[in-house]
């Protein structure tokens, strides 16, 4: 049974989501569709990338991930099918692939089939669904296009670093209103070298320790933790950090080493 994930900014009540699922079921009768999220903020490539990069390793080989974010082919020039770690990713060449993967994918193909019109406003159904259907038949990425290269890159997951500081930003706010940043534990350890530090956000807020669990502090207290994603989180035990601390996607987070 083919597994296909769906990540879009269509909204959960949009007919677009139902239409693309209907197309997938029509083209692949035994398909199993998993919604990663259809609530991505409109055109927010970084938010979608964060969700995909932290969830796809849990899926089985040959899973197909459809990415319906910022899909205008007239702006980005091409739709891509990418093979990485035994899985397939289909989306617009809008910079998202450089955010999802730390290393270049094994195979990158420009999708050349299934176009009804280059002005088609609903590529997720008419192009992506057909490409996924053909992939699921023989798992041959060559069948849906021609070898290509990723042309568009974004650097949202790359903090600014010097010998004594890391300057990152908020890339995602989860359901519990925990604030996730683009600062990885690996980078933190490399720059820290065992030194004391201060984590600053907004003008008057700072923390100087990393917790190992959300319950390390009393309910209502702030904390920083490297959670399941491996990236620094700012949270409030049993509280909503984003709202209470005034943080949102793009807010600057600075770590200074002493």
- Dihedral sign of CA atoms 36, 227, 171, 156 in order: negative
pLDDT the model gives residue 125:
75
pLDDT the model gives residue 156:
57
Q: CA triplet 146, 54, 199: central angle to 5 degrees?
A: 130
Entry pTM: 0.82
> Which residue has 């969700």 as its token pair?
51
pLDDT the model gives residue 104:
84
- The predicted-structure confidence for 44-69, as pLDDT tens digits, reads as follows 998 899 999 999 999 999 999 999 99
Mention every residue, 6+ apart, whose C-beta is less than 8 A from residue 35: 5, 6, 17
Averaged pLDDT for residues 179-186: 93
- The predicted-structure confidence for 120-167, as pLDDT tens digits, reads as follows 556 667 889 999 999 998 898 888 889 999 988 776 567 999 999 999
Percent of the chain with pLDDT over 70: 94
Architecture of domain 160-257: Beta Barrel (2.40)
Sequence spans of domains, the chain: 3-147, 160-257
* Pick from 255, 244, 226: nearest CA to 176: 244
- The predicted-structure confidence for 192-217, as pLDDT tens digits, reads as follows 999 999 999 876 788 999 999 999 99
pLDDT the model gives residue 232:
96
- The predicted-structure confidence for 104-122, as pLDDT tens digits, reads as follows 898 999 998 765 544 455 6
pLDDT the model gives residue 74:
76
The CATH number, out of the four listed (3.40.50.620, 3.40.718.10, 2.30.40.10, 3.40.50.10790), of the domain defined by the range 3-147: 3.40.50.10790
pLDDT the model gives residue 91:
93
């Amino acid at each position: 049974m083919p597994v296909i994930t769906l990540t879009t900014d269509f909204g959960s009540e949009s007919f677009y989501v139902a239409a693309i699922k209907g197309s997938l079921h029509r083209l692949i009768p035994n398909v199993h569709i998993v919604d990663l999220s259809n609530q991505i903020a409109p055109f927010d490539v970084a938010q979608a990338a964060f969700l995909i990069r932290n969830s796809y390793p849990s899926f089985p080989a040959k899973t197909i991930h459809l990415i319906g974010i910022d899909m205008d082919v007239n702006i980005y020039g091409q739709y891509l099918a990418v093979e990485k770690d035994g899985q397939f990713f289909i989306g617009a060449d809008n910079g998202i692939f450089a955010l999802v993967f730390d290393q270049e994918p094994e195979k990158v193909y420009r999708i050349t089939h299934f176009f009804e019109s280059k002005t088609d406003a609903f590529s997720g159904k008419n192009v992506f669904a057909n490409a996924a259907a053909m992939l699921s038949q023989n798992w041959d990425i060559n069948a849906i296009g021609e070898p290509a290269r990723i042309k568009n890159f974004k650097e949202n997951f790359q903090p600014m670093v010097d010998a004594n500081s890391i300057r990152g930003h908020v890339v995602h706010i989860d359901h519990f209103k925990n604030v996730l940043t683009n600062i990885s534990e690996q980078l933190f350890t490399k720059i820290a070298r065992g030194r004391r530090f201060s984590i600053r956000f907004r003008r008057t807020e700072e923390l100087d320790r990393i917790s190992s669990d959300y319950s390390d502090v009393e309910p209502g207290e702030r904390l920083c933790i490297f959670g399941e994603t491996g990236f620094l989180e700012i949270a409030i035990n049993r509280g909503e950090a984003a709202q209470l601390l005034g943080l949102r996607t793009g807010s600057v987070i600075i770590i200074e080493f002493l």
